[in-house]
Amino acid sequence: ATIGGRPDAPDFQQYVERYAKSGPVKGLRQVLHVASTPPGHCLRDDFVRGVRLLGKHRLNFELTMRPTELLDGAKLTERCPDTSFVVDHCGNGDPKAFNPRLAPEMKRSCTADEWRRGMDALAKRPNVVCKISGIVASVPPGQWSAQDLAPVVNHCLDAFGPDRVVFGSDWPVCLLGAALRTWVDMLGEIIASRPADERTKLWSANAVRHYGLKIG
């Protein structure tokens, strides 16, 4: 489980200690792309202290943030070198930024180059893993193909390498764009040409290792 929480909350230490020895709890997430968390929120001193505390308890922190603020996320990972991070939903990369045909009249969350710069900065940090998930929810249902998602997926896979990427279903939010089976099939199509061992790492092996799971 990845549970919710606020690293800058006054009682955060007690909250973390309550779950730190619970085997199923592997990390914590705070959604940062909401109005109550302005740009730079994750770099506040009290927030950084909370994220460092997670590292002391061997818990990871999920970066669920606006794609325009990924460079802030990279700075956070630098300030918390002993904490493991997971970049959620491909850094909220927007397929529409790569292919305006998907939504010609729709405002895009960021440019493709801006997103790439942020993801590349995060990929340089050895304590960061990228979750391949979420992007299906941002495409118009029935109007996309695997090739529309491929630029986002492939950049993440190439930037982070085969050992630091994990699959995520993002169910049920993925239903905004497609059924879970469709998302799985489309991702399978995108990675079909990659070596079998790299595909296995993405689908399951990396997650087993990163989260310390016991299988069987």
pLDDT for the residue numbered 16: 96
* pLDDT tens digits for range 34-85: 998 999 999 999 999 999 999 999 999 999 999 999 999 999 999 999 999 9
Going by C-alpha positions, the residue among 64, 67, 69 that lies closest to residue 27 is 64
pLDDT at 104 over 70: no
pLDDT band at 191 (very low <50, low <70, confident <90, very high): very high
Going by C-alpha positions, the residue among 164, 168, 167, 204 that lies closest to residue 84 is 164
* Secondary structure (3-state) at 20: coil
Please give the share of the chain, as a percent, with pLDDT higher than 70.
95
Going by C-alpha positions, the residue among 180, 183, 112 that lies closest to residue 151 is 112
- Beta bridge partner(s), residue 165: 130
pLDDT for the residue numbered 105: 52
Regarding pTM above 0.85, the answer is: yes
Classify each residue of 68-92 as buried b or exposed e, where b means 16 or more C-beta atoms within 10 Å of its C-beta.
bbbebbbbbbebbeebbbbbbbbbb
Q: Between 152 and 100, where is the model more confident?
A: 152
* pLDDT tens digits for range 2-42: 999 999 999 999 999 999 988 899 999 999 999 989 999 99
pLDDT for the residue numbered 109: 61
pLDDT for the residue numbered 110: 74
pLDDT at 163 over 60: yes
Query: Where does residue 131 rank: exposed (0-12), middle (13-18), buried (19+ CB within 10 A)?
Result: buried
